[in-house]
Structure formats: structure tokens, C-alpha cells
Structure 1
Amino acid sequence: MNQNDLLNISYADVDTARKEMDRLLKTRQRNYSLPRELYNDPQMFRIDMEEVFQKEWLFVGMTSEIPKKGDYMTVEIGQNPVLVVRDADGSVNAFHNTCRHRGSRLCSQHRGKVANLVCPYHQWTYDLKGNLLFAGTDMGESFDKSQHGLKKAHCKTGGGFIFVCLAKNAPEGDFDDFLATLEEYMEPYDVENTKLAVESNMYEQANWKLVIENNRECYHCAGNHPELLNTLLEWDDTEDPRASEEFLAQYKRQAAEWDAEGIPHEHKSFGVRNRIVRMPLKEGTQVMTIDGSEGCDKLMGRIKNRHLGSMRILHLPNSWNHMQSDHFIVFRVLPISAQESLVTTKWFVHKDAVEGVDYDPAKLRQVWDATNDQDRQLGEENQRGINSLGYEPGPYSETFEFGVINFLDWYSETVQKNLESSDK
């Protein structure tokens, strides 16, 4: 908890805060930003973690980050360390990264490779499916290893994306339909034959919702993102009401090329939470590099056309992504505190691409390093202004900021639904 959090504690206990959050969400003015407390109060942040990040499906990484048996990655979801590992049959499993003996983290590195999962504290040993193999000889004859396997987290994959859910019962709805469509739309990229080229981690002194809100609109782009706008068309998707006739004609022309190559591109939405759409980039540009030229000499998967634009994939509450012809970029947001978030960006290329020969990591990341830092500054200034006693919720533009409105509608409905189910 940082100093700003301490200054904004306003509820005697979490039960009071839960009731107040429910009231604030029920009485909020739709199409307006949220009340101040929902952006900066530590008790409200705790509820966000309990009712969103501990109950909903979260994007954590790509399957090509753990390509072989025993490869693992770790991620911290609030105070919940999670371990994602590839087992012997190729399956991807997720576990709570805590030993069943005395709770120590099993794996402390961000990535690694193991034959079995061995706790560094007392050497309790688990296989890659979480079964306890060894607990020493001092646990007594009545000790049952089968009752002390690792605690699993729900884990699903689609199109090379890995999602986990920490809830006892994972939400259903249309998530499996989204995964099936993701599998179809990502097929041309052959994600299993890609590799992580470079990664960045950025700490932003802003509430996680402000990070997502900033991403869900390009109203601010013209005044803040010159590097990004070298290639990006600011329309949100093919159904954006602001889209020009020129853009629609370009989309129709490029869509015919994509159809000829069997590249999926039609807009697919699953509520307002999950969306996939392929969008052209500016005429004459190939990918989102500083000058629009190729990012990698090797194209991905079965792709032959360098002018695939960017396939944008949205997954609320914590990810947006850009899939292009020769590399793709994934973004993940994880809350740290009421006023701090971790934004992770990863760039992937063909697994046979050679650094310094086929691609230059500095060129791949130049545009988004600049854009991320610009967004960080915007988010932090937004947070500082919201902390003011003079702040009150302000109106969103229904044309330029409809993506923000959709996000807050989803957030509000999800928290209220989960609060209600928790109280039963």
C-alpha cells in the first residue's frame, strides 16, 4: 500500500465497502466516468481483486512461451502467485504457486524449465500435473500424498493464448465460443512455431481501470501518439461510426486479398468483453514499426501477404493485442494496488527468425515503447486529477469513447453480479 492509498482509506471494514461499491455502481450515471472512490480507494481495490481478478478469466501469456515439457512461467495476480507449466503430454496446466507443505512459492523465477516441481524450502516434489511425488520420510505412515497435490487454477487455451481463472467455479457464458473463434482466427499464425523476441514491463502509477479506459479510445491519439499514428488508423473497428468512405473502400479492397489467402477478418464480438477484428493499417505500411516497413524478414505461419493490417483482439479485463504479418504484440495488465498497475508488452516472431539477421528487437519495440510511456504519463496525470477533491465524474463521447463506455458497462455489471453471488 502506497502513501496515496493511505490517504484515501474511507471505509471502516470491507463489508461496508462492498455495500458502498454496489450502491455506487447501481446509481452511477452511465456514459460518465466512475466515482472517485472506485479509482483510488484501497478497500474498493480489494473488492476489484476479489470480484474481478479472482473470479474472471484472465490472459496470462502465450503457449509458445512454454513450448516444451517442463517449461514454465509465473505470474502474480494480486497476492496470488500462479504457475503455468507444460506437461509431458503437451497440455498447459495452471497451479497456485504455493507448496502444500508450508506454503512457500515453488518457482520464483519468471520463466524456467524443470523435470519436476521441487519446493526449495523442504524439497517436497510434484510432477507436472501437480501430483505430490515426494514429501520425505518424516510425515508418518498415515500421511496420504494423494491428498496433498498442488491446488489447480482453471486454465484454458485458444489460438495460442493462455487464460486462467482463480475462482472455485469458473464463469461460463460465451467464453468457449470466443476461444473457438480465437483458434480459427489465429490459425494462420501457427503460434506454436513462434517465439518471444522481446518483452517490457512498465509500472504505471494509476488504477488498472484507467489503464484500460485509456486503451479503449483513440480520442487522445492525435495529441499524444505521433509514432503510433505513422501506421495506425484510429477507427476502433470496421463498425466504427466515424469511419470514412475512404477507409471503408480500403478495407473492402484488402479484405478481398485476405479472403483469397484464407485469412479470417470479419468482426466477431462476444458481448462487449471479447472482440476480434482485422483492421487495415495506413496505406503503404506493412506493420506497426516507426516507418511501417517490415519488422521481421520471416513471415508468420502460412502467411504470404505482408499487408494483413492488424488483427485486434480484446479480452476484458486485462488484455489487448495486435496480430500482424511478420510479428505480433500482446499486452497484459495486472493491478498492483489501488493506484498502481503493471503493463507487460511482448513481441513474438517466427521461431526460426534470427535476432540481428531477420529482426532487430529495437525496431520491433520502438513504436510501442514510445506509446506505452506516453500512455503511462497520461494515466498518471489522470490519476492525480481524480485524487483531487475537485474531481467529479465527467461525460464520455458516445462516438469517440464508446469503447470506454462498453468497458465500464461490463465492469459494473460483472462486479454487481459477483457481489450478489458472493452474498448468497
Structure 2
Amino acid sequence: MTEYDLLNLNYRSLDEAREDMSRLLGERAKNESLPQALYNDPFLFRVDMDEVFMKQWLFAGMTCEVPKAGSYMTVEIGQNPVLIVRDRDGEVRAFHNVCRHRGSRICKASKGKTANLTCPYHQWTYDLKGSLIYTGSAMGENFDMSQHGLKPVHCRTAGGFIYICLAEGEPPEIDEYLQALETYMEPYDMENAKVAVESILEEKANWKLVIENNRECYHCSGSHPELLRTLLEWDDTTDPRATPEFKAQYERQAQEWDNECIPHEHIEFGLRNRIVRMPLKDGTEVMTMDGKAGCKKLMGRIENRQLGSMRILHLPNSWNHMQSDHVIVFQVLPVSAQKTLVITKWLVHKDAVEGEDYDPERLRHVWDATNRQDRELAEQNQRGINSAGYVPGPYSESYEFGVINFLDWYSETVLREFGVPPASVPRQAHG
């Protein structure tokens, strides 16, 4: 078999993978984990990347990470390097981080600042709006530079969050969620925040297992002693496990939030996005080991240290905890069928001084431990799923409804791209 035949075989296999995925998702048992291949098959992973990560809005970073004109950051979506930069008008833009000459990556660093964007290969130079402004004399007088600007990537910002979408055509609708996010994030003034500390974990597990693990706390009591010093396990006030004592605590704190004009009403947008403010354990302030302040300076206009945690979900790749004196954002980036990066950033007020206002190790301790524990859980989950003994198992509708919702969203999203009507996809309401 020639190399050409192997190439064609790969293409045929990818087409077959799409057919297999359509069948597996269409036939999957309601409220059960997915068939094995959807967690470990490289071709089905490629379909995930094509139909989910190349077409959906993805959390890419925070606007405070590109604070001034020329500030940039880079992110890798599969094999697609993306460049995010703030232009001289203050707008945050995104481009494919690919030179229009011969395709070299332009910005190699994860973050930086530059007057213009210059490719290191042949010094083709672009301004901060992506227009090609210099090629030297090699291309001749008749070369039309206006036709060779950087290829843009859809980019939207709200409440300090940056979302990108690599879709070639129109991206999915997201306006309603972004408007709500802007309102709910207003008290935090994230433009005047900074990243205090960051971690990157490589997990040997499929990205869906990483998200599934996050979407339930059924495992928390057996795995997360540090987290449960402050976190209440239930998901919101409608959680069937929520106690009368918790509901009373919520009502007391909700009155305080109302007095300070802090939004807290539970809102959701389909199964993709939800925002809910939840108290932490009574008497605690933030997610530190003792539940006390993580930073002396509060975020934005916040005055009440017992603000609880505002939880923000954005599928397919982010969950977040907004607290009174620092916020924690999480980003999930698939690498391969059984490898995923989980990036965590702790943000504080931009004027907070390390060593004086906050201790990075104290700030990160709880979630560093929790992330390591979750990595172990996801990796052991993956190893078991790879076994010949694996068969899909049942989810608890009361403890794992968040997982059910995620897989419903995932199935519906992929099948819609395959032309299958959403009404035929199983749905599960929030508990």
C-alpha cells in the first residue's frame, strides 16, 4: 500500500468515524455514560474537534491579560494556534496565529507586548488590527498587501471574559448569555484585575471525562477534603439534596446581596451556560484552607466578604468561581483522545501586592489539591473505560444531573451538525 493509499484510507476512516459517532450518539441510552469509543477513539476525537471545538464558542482567557494596546496572548485549539491582541482602539481581537506568507506561527510566547505583529521567519509585519503593513522589497511593486492580512477568528468579550470561535461561517448565537455575564460580572470590575498565579495540568484522560468530573460533586466527600472545608456540595437551591438549613442560609445572604445590588438569581441558557451565586459554608469567606480572606483587597466595588461563590458554566471548556477577593477561572483544552490540558488562573485586584496583600501559595492551595485529585480520578476513569470490561453505566438523576445535562448538550450539538433534529436528542432538566 502506497503513502497515497494510506492518506486516502485515513480520510475514509474519518468519514466512517462520523457515521459511527452519529449512530452511537443517536442510540445512546438515556442517563448512562457514553459508549467506550466516544472516550478513547482517535478518529472520534477528531470528529469532536471538528464539530465541537472548531464550531463552538470557547473560553480563551481574560481581558485583563491583554491590558494595553499591543498586549497579546496565545492559545492552541487542537492544531490551531490562535493569537489574541488588544488593538490601539482598545478592542480585543483574535486571529489565526499564522503568517500569510508561508504559514509560520507569528507569536511564539504565551503572553507578551508588541508594537506590531512580526513573523520571525521573514519579518512580514502586521498591525494590531491584522493588516499586512510590511514585506520588504521581495514581493515586488504589484503585490497587493491588502489581500494578505491575518485571518480573523470570531472574538467576543463580556464581564472580563474572552470567547473565541473558529467557525468559518456564522458562529452560534451567544448574545443573551454575554449580556447576562456583563451584568453579573459588573461588581468585580475585571478590567482592573490581574492574574496572580496560574497552573497547567496535563491529564491523561478524554476531555469529556474532565468535564463530567467537574459537573458533579457525588465524588467530593471521598476525594476533596480541602475543597469541602468551604464548598457546599449541592449545585443550587433546587438541588434535591439541599437541606432546610442551607436554604435558610441562602435567604439570609440573598438579602445582603440585594442590599448591595449584587445579582444572584439563577439563570441558564439552554444546557450550555448557567450562572448561579451560592453561599459557601456558613462562617467562611472564600475557598482557602481556613475559609478566611485570600487577598486583603476586595474585587471591584464589592464590600461584603461573605459573597459566596458565583459559579459560571460555559460548555464545552470552562467553569469558574467568582468570590469576594479573588476569582478562579478554569479552561479545558483537548490535546488528543486521551490527553487534556486543564489551565487554572487565580485573579486578584490589579493593585494587590504579592507578599503584602496576598500569598500565592495560600491563594492556590485548595484548588491545586483539588485539581490534582481530579486528575487522578479522571485518569483512573480513563484506564477503566479502556478495559474490555467497560460498559456504559447509569448516572444518578439527583447527584449527577449536571453530567446528564452536559452529555445531552454534547449529543445535541454534534448531532445537529450532522443534520439530526434536536428534538430527537434525549433531554434532562436540571435537578
Q: CA RMSD in A?
A: 1.2
- 1:210 match: secondary structure: helix
Q: What does residue 347 of structure 1 align with?
A: 346
**Counterpart residue identity of residue 327, structure 2:** F
Q: Where does residue 331 of structure 1 map in the other structure?
A: 330
Aligned amino acid, residue 210 of structure 2:
V
**Matched letter for residue 23 of structure 1:** R
Kept in 2, the 8 Å contact 1:11–1:43? The answer is no
Q: Is structure 2 residue 60 aligned with structure 1 residue 56?
A: no
* Secondary structure of the corresponding residue to residue 328 of structure 2: strand
Quote the residue 1:281 is aligned against. Answer: 280
Give the Cα–Cα distance (whole angstroms) in 1 for the partners of residues 297 and 47 of structure 2: 45
Which amino acid letter does the alignment assign opposite residue 362 of structure 1? E
- For 2:6, the equivalent position in structure 1 comes to none
Residue matched to 2:428: none
Matched with 2:425 is: none
Match of 1:65 in 2: 65
Amino acid at match of 2:99: C
Q: What is the SS of the residue equivalent to 1:156?
A: strand
- Partner residue of 1:169? 169
Q: Distance in 2 between matches of 1:67 and 1:11?
A: 43
Q: Give the C-alpha shift of residue 170 in structure 1.
A: 3.5
Query: Deviation digits for residues 24-74 of structure 1, max 9, x if unmatched?
Result: 000000100000000000000000000000000000100001100000000
Contact 1:203 1:341 in 2 (8 A): yes
Paired residues for 1:298-313 under 5 Å: 298-313=297-312
| Number of matched pairs | 412
CA distance in 2, matches of 1:214, 1:257: 32
Q: Secondary structure at the match of 2:334?
A: strand
Q: Which consecutive unaligned segments of at least 5 residues does structure 2 have?
A: 1-8, 421-431
Cα distance per residue 1:336-382 (max 9 Å; x no partner) = 00000000000000000000000000001000000000000000000
Calculate percent identity across the aligned residue pairs: 71
**In structure 2, distance between residues paired with 1:275 and 1:350:** 25
* Counterparts of 2:246 and 2:367, CA distance in 1: 23
Aligned equivalents of 1:330, 1:311: Cα separation in 2: 11
Amino acid aligned to 1:133 = I
Give yes or no for contact 1:11–1:17 (8 Å, CA) kept in 2.
Answer: no
Does the residue aligned with 1:269 lie in a helix, a strand or coil? strand
Aligned to 2:74: 74
How much does 1:140 deviate?
2.1
Per-residue CA deviation, residues 270-298 of structure 1 (Å, 9 max, x unaligned), is: 01110000000001100000110100000
1:403 lines up with 2:418 in the alignment: no
Report the alpha carbon displacement of residue 420 of structure 1 after superposing the two structures with TM: 2.7
Unaligned runs of at least 5 residues, structure 1: 1-8
Alignment of 1:5-404 (within 5 A): 13-173=13-173, 175-404=174-403
- Does the CA-based 8 Å contact 1:72-1:84 persist in structure 2? yes
User: CA deviation digits over 1:221-275, x for unaligned, max 9?
Assistant: 0000000000000011222122111111000000000000000001010011100
What's the offset of the Cα at 1:11? 10
Residue 404 (structure 1) shift: 0.1
Normalised TM-score (structure 2): 0.94
Paired position in structure 1 for 2:414: 415
Give yes or no for contact 2:154–2:171 (8 Å, CA) kept in 1.
no
Question: Structure 1 residues 228 and 123, CA, compared in 2 at 3 Å: closer, same or farther?
Answer: same
Aligned to 1:6: none
Superimposed CA distance per residue, residues 96-133 of structure 1 (whole angstroms, 9 cap, x where no aligned partner)? 00000000000000000000000000000000000000
**How many Å apart are 1:10 and its aligned residue?**
11
Query: Does the Cα contact within 8 Å between 1:55 and 1:170 map onto a contact in 2?
Result: no
**Counterparts of 1:186 and 1:237, CA distance in 2:** 19
Partner letter of residue 324 of structure 1? Q
CA contact (8 A) 1:57 1:170 kept: no
Indicate conservation of the 8 Å contact 2:70/2:115, yes or no: yes
Aligned with 1:109: secondary structure?
Answer: coil
The one-letter code sitting in structure 2 at the alignment partner of 1:211 is V
Query: Which secondary structure does the structure 2 equivalent of 1:385 belong to?
Result: helix
Counterparts of 1:278 and 1:139, CA distance in 2: 57
AA aligned to 2:37 is E
Query: Which residue matches 1:5?
Result: none
For 2:313 and 2:267, how far apart are their aligned partners in 1?
11
One-letter amino acid matched to 2:56? E
Q: Matches of 2:369 and 2:288 in 1, distance apart? A: 11
1:419 shift after superposition: 2.5
- The one-letter code of the counterpart of 1:330 is V
Opposite residue 137 of structure 2, the aligned amino acid is T
Q: Counterpart of 2:419 in 1: which secondary structure?
A: helix
Q: Report the Cα offset of residue 137 of structure 1.
A: 0.8
- Decide whether the 8 Å contact of 1:238 with 1:267 is kept in 2: no
Q: Is the 8 A contact 2:57 2:172 kept in 1?
A: no
Q: CA deviation at 1:13?
A: 0.9
After TM superposition, the structure 1 stretch with the greater mean CA deviation from structure 2, 243-252 or 133-142, is: 133-142
